[in-house]
Amino acid sequence: MDNYKKNIGRREFLRIVGIATAASSINILQGCTPGPKKKLKTAVDDADSRPAKMTYRNFSDQEKESVSILGYGCMRWPTTPSPDGKGDLIDQEKVNQLVDYAMKHGVNYYDTSVYVQGWSEKATGIALKRYPRKRFKIATKLSNFSNYTRENSIKMYKQSFVDLQVEYIDYYLLHSIGNGGIRTFNARYIENGMLDYLIKEREAGRIRHLGFSFHGTKDVFDEVLAMHEQVHWDFVQIQLNYLDWNHASGNNVNADYLYEELQKKHIPAIIMEPLLGGRLSKLPDHIVARLKQRQPENSVASWAFRFAGSPANVLTVLSGMTYMEHLQDNLRTYSPLVPLTEDERQFLFDTANLITQYPTIPCNDCKYCMPCPYGIDIPAILLHYNKCVNEGNLARSIQDENYHQARRAFLVGYDRSVPRLRQADHCIGCKQCNPHCPQSIDIPHQMQRINDFVENLKQGTL
């Protein structure tokens, strides 16, 4: 975590947070911000005017804890430029507004970790501290990726309580099991005694439910899941969406296998990446048209959220909502959730088959690969590439009918999305980023490939 925080001074963060928190408190004390006398109807009004009818799931037959089917993924909190121009800081006032709106509309599950350069837990803690503890459930993770020592791992664990300002954690996860294979799992949690330590913490009540999040190969999943007899995994967080159900990329395992293995053991599934890092909301135009034709009034993203929430063993579906519009759209989808019919499921599987024909790179913008020591903005490069694929702006040859339009769109958009010094041509191929990528993307290979493509476009040699 220290690495994540090293670029941001604590004092600067607190300064911003302090100002924003005070401003937000005033709003809360006043009930609401005064508005114009005659307000225009907005999406907020639409959502506000509906009765609260969020769908909830019970943790188990024995434990009737209700969890909202929409879980707030706190990995993409809004940021604001730092006053000194050195990077970004979390915009605490906006975080508070999003949390207030989510709480008001029934969201009671908040999933955080060392996200947003390490500041997510602190910002999430500040926002939630304003509510009675029983009204929300916190999930956070042991992210001892680079320093596995017991001492460091316990320090990270304890720091989460401080940053979140809580005395117990509802859902505690071993973070991103699978990355690095079973040897890394053993080093992070078994050989240092951390799993035993966390089990004792669960017995002591400081952890209410213990589980793990998974990105990796089938053999690791099977081996860690087989530990259920001794550990009793309370829940497991998996990547599930209608593309990954049968078409998981890289080392990832198809979601149908992951889900069904959990179901066999009656372990609740928490869903991450329902939108595959936004890829399932930024689809090629004709696939968007296909979804819109079937349900014109609903968003493209709502299909993916209904898919992820429909299976009965799913406890909650996480969404990293940076903008109010995304939160409102998801609330519409899940208040209440209308499970997919069998016909609609098949329609989405057919849609997934169409999507696989587009050669996008499976980056979900998680930023775990950042910062690159050489300054490459890896996710921005990959997202721009994917955007051009989806928009039909990936020229294959100078003979293409739309070659000139596609060339211009790619090159102009590239310079706008990624500063020159952070583009793919500055990658030296050191591979330091690869072990961090949960999607198993060979990042230097992709940087080289994209750079070759850019050079060909520039030279007119495609």
Taking the complex as a whole, how short is the minimal distance between the CB of residue 247 and ligand SF4, in angstroms?
A: 16
Q: For residue 336, is the peptide bond before it cis, meaning its omega torsion is within 30 degrees of 0?
A: yes
Calculate the CA 290 to chain-centre distance: 26
**Of 92 and 439, which CB lies nearer to ligand SF4 in the complex structure?**
439
CA angle 50, 37, 20 (to 5 degrees): 75
Q: How far is the CB of 400 from ligand SF4 (least distance, A)?
A: 28
User: Alpha-carbon distance 22 to 83, whole Å?
Assistant: 18
Q: How far is the CB of 106 from ligand SF4 (least distance, A)?
A: 30
Cα 435 from Cα 444, distance rounded (Å): 12
Pick 288 or 370: Cβ nearer ligand SF4? 370
Complex with ligand SF4: residue 334 or 368, whichever CB lies closer: 368
Helices (H), 87-149: 92-104, 115-118, 120-128
Kindly report the backbone phi and psi dihedral angles of residue 44, in degrees, each rounded to the nearest multiple of 5, phi listed first: -60, -45
137 close to 112: Cβ distance less than 8 angstroms:
no
Q: Which is nearer to ligand SF4, 314 or 443 (CB)?
A: 443
3-state SS class at 233: coil
Report the residue number, 253 or 363, with the smaller CB distance to ligand SF4: 363
Closest to ligand SF4 by CB, 272 vs 437, is 437
Inter-residue contact 304 to 281 (CB < 8 Å): yes
Question: If DSSP codes are grouped into helix, strand and coil, which group holds residue 318?
Answer: strand
Tokens at 408, concatenated:
């211009």
Contacts of residue 47, defined as CB under 8 A and 6 or more positions apart, other chains included, come to 105, 328, 331, 332
Rounded to a whole number of angstroms, the minimum distance from the CB of residue 300 to ligand SF4 is 21
Nearer to ligand SF4 by Cβ, of 368 and 414: the residue is 368
Shortest Cβ 57–ligand SF4 spacing (Å): 28
- The least CB distance from residue 358 to ligand SF4, in Å, is 17
Nearer to ligand SF4, 211 or 444 (CB): 444
In whole angstroms, the minimum distance from the beta carbon of 267 to ligand SF4 comes to 26
Structure token digits, residue 214: 């998974």
Q: Which amino acid is at 157?
A: Y
> Min. distance of Cβ 434 from ligand SF4 in angstroms?
7
SS3 104: helix
Residue 26, class by beta-carbon neighbours within 10 Å (0-12 exposed, 13-18 middle, 19+ buried)? exposed
Q: What is the DSSP string of 140-208?
A: EEE--SS---HHHHHHHHHHHHHHHT-S-EEEEEEEEETTTHHHHHIIIIITTSHHHHHHHHHHTTSEE
What are the structure tokens assigned to 92, written together? 């605490």
Residue 20 CB, shortest distance to ligand SF4, in Å, is 27
Output the smallest distance, CB 166 to ligand SF4, in A. 28
Nearer of residues 247 and 290 to ligand SF4, judged by Cβ: 247
Residue nearer to ligand SF4 on the CB measure, 398 or 421? 421
Question: Min. distance of Cβ 45 from ligand SF4 in angstroms?
Answer: 35
Binding residues (CB under 6 A) for ligand SF4: these are: 363-369, 372-374, 376, 378-379, 382, 427-433, 436-437, 439, 441, 443-444, 447
**In the structure encoding, which two tokens stand for residue 284, read together?**
């090629």
Q: For residues 313 and 434, which CB has a smaller minimum distance to ligand SF4 in the complex?
A: 434
**Which of 382, 390, 372 lies closest to 414, judged by CA?**
382
